[in-house]
Amino acid sequence: MVPVANTFTEPEPSALLLLLGQGQDAFSERGVDCPGDLPAPSDPDLVARAWAAKQALGERAFILGHHYQRDEVIQFADVTGDSFKLAQKAAASPNSEFIVFCGVHFMAESADILTADDQLVVLPDLAAGCSMADMAAADQVAAAWRSLEAAGVADVTIPVTYMNSTAAIKAFTGEHGGTICTSSNAKKSLDWAFSQGEKVLFLPDQHLGRNTAVLELGMSLDDCVVFDPHKPGGGLTAEQLQRARMILWRGHCSVHGRFTADSVDEIRAKVPNINVLVHPECQHEVVLKSDHVGSTEHIIQTLAAAESGSAWAIGTELNLVRRLASQHPDKQIMFLDKTICYCSTMNRIDLPHLVWALESLVEDRVINQITVDPDTAHWARVALDRMLALPGVGSRD
């Protein structure tokens, strides 16, 4: 292995960090206060306390860590993965009393839906929501469906909902004959949906929907329309809805949506042989200018298989890119844009919150339990099971 000069530079901090965790909104994926008797972040024993609590819990607790989590947290994960792999791992953990989810709220909800009733799911910080999931509220989606009914297209439309959504939207999807997808199986879910109907209502990430439809299913941009939940009728005429094949919800990821086509041009000008690899939550113009596009797991596998000495600019969350840069010192791994920062809600889970959650469980106190009501869980599970039953999807490790 030939170490190359360390070219990784920290991007400038973003104002987004200041917005979250303030106020109360029980229906929101973010902005929820999470009061608790937290250990001080300066406590020098936090790492030792976390290991001790984890050891005391043994197999009673199964700790899942999404790849975008901080290093200080990910070291305690029994399994790491993207949202799909973690959902599968939670579903296959019948021996654990507690699932401690180091990720965001919608992932913990999916874990609750997929696990047995006597398994409890804990999210160490309730303020770890997701701004993308917040962009599709249940009443907005119900109103959108009424617009589709008024345009006479609801009967031929199949909802396909990204994993990054609330349980309520997943339940809507299950009840209306649709399926869930993740960034690693969006094409398969859409292929299935188009075998069931003529159109798809894709929620809530317009970019994943557009990128998959155009780049993997061979549709044109004209086949896609954007439904804006803040405008009457989505801002679309009945004729536009009737013509469209992909009805994309106007939602996006506040991290991936900020990469720009200019940042790809800039990095190519600076590093001539650079490979640009981005997540499909990035804007279509960014993906078009990139060399490769793929889910979080795909990015990890691509870099593991890349040639020693090769140069890569990565368009995904910063915790993961920093980790990949330190795991592959023989490759030149850079962050695609110098002004974009961490996912601030993923970063809510820090060592004090993890210690607090684990030590509470040791004392038989369950804090921050995530529960989905039975009716919502039933229909959300119908949609999740449709995804897991797709050929070649459920078997992925």
Residues binding ligand SF4 (CB under 6 A): 68, 104, 130-132, 164, 253-255, 317, 343, 345-346
Q: Which is nearer to ligand 13P, 112 or 281 (CB)?
A: 281
Is 84 a residue that touches ligand 13P (CB under 6 A)?
yes
Q: Which is nearer to ligand 13P, 296 or 360 (CB)?
A: 296
Task: State the minimum distance, in angstroms, from the CB of residue 312 to ligand 13P.
Answer: 17
Task: State the minimum distance, in angstroms, from the CB of residue 368 to ligand SF4.
Answer: 17
The tokens for 277 are 């690899």
Residue 62 DSSP one-character state: E
Task: State the minimum distance, in angstroms, from the CB of residue 354 to ligand 13P.
Answer: 18
Query: Which one of ligand 13P, ligand SF4, none is in contact with 254 (Cβ closer than 5 to 8 A by kind)?
Result: ligand SF4
Task: Write each residue from 116 to 155 as x if it is in contact with ligand 13P (CB under 6 A), else as -, in one continuous string.
Answer: ----------------------------------------
Is 164 a residue that touches ligand 13P (CB under 6 A)?
yes
Other C-beta atoms lying within 10 Å of the C-beta of residue 44: 7
Q: Which is nearer to ligand SF4, 66 or 89 (CB)?
A: 66
Q: Which is nearer to ligand SF4, 131 or 283 (CB)?
A: 131
Q: Which amino acid is at 61?
A: A
- Phi, psi angles (nearest 5°) of residue 355: -60, -45
Query: Which one of ligand 13P, ligand SF4, none is in contact with 125 (Cβ closer than 5 to 8 A by kind)?
Result: none
Task: Assess whether the previous peptide bond of 352 is cis (omega < 30° from 0).
Answer: no
Task: State the minimum distance, in angstroms, from the CB of residue 348 to ligand SF4.
Answer: 10
Nearest to 119 by CA among 147, 99, 104: 99
CB burial of residue 294 (10 Å; 0-12, 13-18, 19+): middle
Is 112 a residue that touches ligand 13P (CB under 6 A)?
no
Name the 3-class secondary structure at 119.
Answer: coil
Task: State the minimum distance, in angstroms, from the CB of residue 164 to ligand SF4.
Answer: 5
Task: State the minimum distance, in angstroms, from the CB of residue 279 to ligand 13P.
Answer: 6
Interacting span for ligand 13P (CB under 6 A) from 11-19, 80-88, 110-118, 333-341: 80-88
Contact criterion met (CB below 8 Å) for 274 and 310: no
Is 254 a residue that touches ligand 13P (CB under 6 A)?
no
| Residue whose entry in the numeric block shows the structure tokens 């490759």 | 331
Name the 3-class secondary structure at 77.
Answer: coil
> What part of residues 194-253 is at the interface with ligand 13P (CB under 6 A)?
253
Task: State the minimum distance, in angstroms, from the CB of residue 148 to ligand 13P.
Answer: 27
Round to whole Å and give the CA distance between 387 and 186.
10
Other C-beta atoms lying within 10 Å of the C-beta of residue 3: 11
Round to whole Å and give the CA distance between 171 and 251.
18
Q: Which is nearer to ligand SF4, 135 or 151 (CB)?
A: 135
Task: State the minimum distance, in angstroms, from the CB of residue 297 to ligand SF4.
Answer: 14
Contact criterion met (CB below 8 Å) for 172 and 110: no
Q: Which residues contact 266 (CB under 8 A, 6 or more apart)?
A: none
Nearest to 386 by CA among 207, 212, 161: 161
Task: Write each residue from 266 to 305 as x if it is in contact with ligand 13P (CB under 6 A), else as -, in one continuous string.
Answer: ---------------x-------------xx---------
CA count, 13 A, side-chain hemisphere, 134: 19
Is 88 a residue that touches ligand 13P (CB under 6 A)?
no
Interacting span for ligand 13P (CB under 6 A) from 1-9, 31-39, 47-55, 81-89: 81-89
Task: State the minimum distance, in angstroms, from the CB of residue 208 to ligand SF4.
Answer: 10
Interacting span for ligand 13P (CB under 6 A) from 82-90, 196-204, 348-356, 370-378: 82-90
Is 96 a residue that touches ligand 13P (CB under 6 A)?
no
Q: What residues form DSSP beta bridges with 51?
A: none
Q: Which amino acid is at 122?
A: V
Phi-psi region at 137: left, alpha or beta (left = phi > 0; alpha = psi -120 to 50): beta
